[in-house]
Amino acid sequence: MDLKQFIRLLPKVELHVHLEGSVTPEFWLKLIKKHHPNGPCPTLEELMERFRFPDFQGFLEAFRDIVFSFHAPDDLYDLTRYFLAKAVKQNVKYCEVMFTPWFLVKRGIDFNEMMSEIDRAAKEIENESDIEMKLIFDGPRNFGNEAVREVFTMAMQDKTGRVIGVGIGGDEKTHPARLFPDEFDYARASGLHTIGHAGETDGVESMLDTIQLLKVSRIGHCLGIPESSKLEGIIFENNITLDLCPWSNVATGSIPSIEKHPFPDYLKRGYPITLNSDDPGIFNTNINKEFDIMLELYNLTAEQLAGICANAVSGSFLPDAKKKILSDDIKECVENYQS
């Protein structure tokens, strides 16, 4: 067995992936035809072109247009089955999936019906396969404090038991973390876990504020951590998990090339890093591809690959008993590879 085969056998946990971002051009076209059967319809090639954007703002605009293509609760049933079926093929055993219901509710989709459809699809896949999905509601920081608080309130009102936490995404330069500590305190007071996007399009201060002011357990993207810095010390001191999304950062122009991603430096420094696909449908990636790329670039060992998976288990919000089961499965996979 070579290491690429080993990657496919490794039990994986994905911590930074957006449900809406799992929409592929093919799924998007099907969705458009479903709701506009007799209207003008873009070609698949035109939709594929929408997934090529010049910068992060272009990505946000494409993401917005995808979200606006959803019109009914059962659209979310279709998407959840579509997403989880692909996750199963990647040997993902557990995923904490980000989702922003606010846009859909504002456009008239009933929140409880939508959540019921997501839960119905997830239960079907969970009954068919060895996978479990939880949700983290992502606050749209670009729309201000009120919108973020509304999303966090929706998380508290979930009746399915799927929602375990909240986070914040969007443009961290124009709407920095320091604007939202009250919203995060509000969420934690209700028992929700907290995470945040930081260091995707902004730098060290954004990451420091997200950790210190928002008091999150994980940060996503986290580009540009200086070695031996105050930020590095705080990451170690607070055991902050770093959810890396290398191909996403190339696709949105946050870094000029995959070789410029700080992954090898973070690995060498011993940071608690994980690998994730972020928006797999939009970026034409998946978690196995993320592992494959880093394997090819940096000649990783089985122990290093398994260590990244173990970091994801440790950084998840799973109960300790389930963490132990997954950790043992990862160790067994390594032992089988070496025997």
The count of residues in the chain is 339
Judging by DSSP bridges, how do beta strands 273-275 and 193-198 pair with one another? unpaired
Distance CA 177, CA 165 (A): 17
CA 326, 329, 333, 335 dihedral sign is positive
Annotated active-site residue in 96, 183, 200, 290: 200
Q: Is 99:59 a contact under the CB 8 Å cutoff?
A: no
Give, as one character, the DSSP assignment of residue 270.
T
Count of CB atoms situated within 10 Å of the CB of 278: 28
Q: DSSP states of 205-246 as a string?
A: HHHHHHHHTS--SEEEE---PPTTSHHHHHHHHHT-EEEE-H
Distance CA 315, CA 256 (A): 28
Q: Is 261:225 a contact under the CB 8 Å cutoff?
A: no
Catalytic site includes residue 200: yes
CA dist list (Å): 140 to 64, 151, 180: 11, 8, 11
Q: Which residues are catalytically annotated?
A: 200
